[in-house]
Amino acid sequence: MWDSPLYLEYITDERMGELARTTERARSLGRLQPSPPCGLRRRLARRLVSLGLHLDPQAAGPAVPNGRARLASR
């Protein structure tokens, strides 16, 4: 019985329907999630640039961990 074609087709249809419902639920949750906070992309881009400058010994100018230029000391 468990390996009959009719039973396997029924189980497959049930599983496909369950997966379709799960997919639709995930899609609707994705649409309802708030957008990332303002400036997140800019902040991440600045950090990547500062990391690149920090890792590149031939880059022009000193790099600091927070990505801001150092002020002249008195």
pTM: 0.39
pLDDT on residue 43:
86
The residue ranges of the chain whose pLDDT is under 70 are 1-2, 33-36, 53-74
pLDDT on residue 41:
80
Sign, CA torsion 36/42/47/52 = positive
| CA-wise closest residue to 67 among 37, 40, 53 | 53
What's the CA gap between 68 and 15, in Å, rounded? 54
pLDDT on residue 72:
54
User: Which pair of tokens denotes residue 69?
Assistant: 């230029």
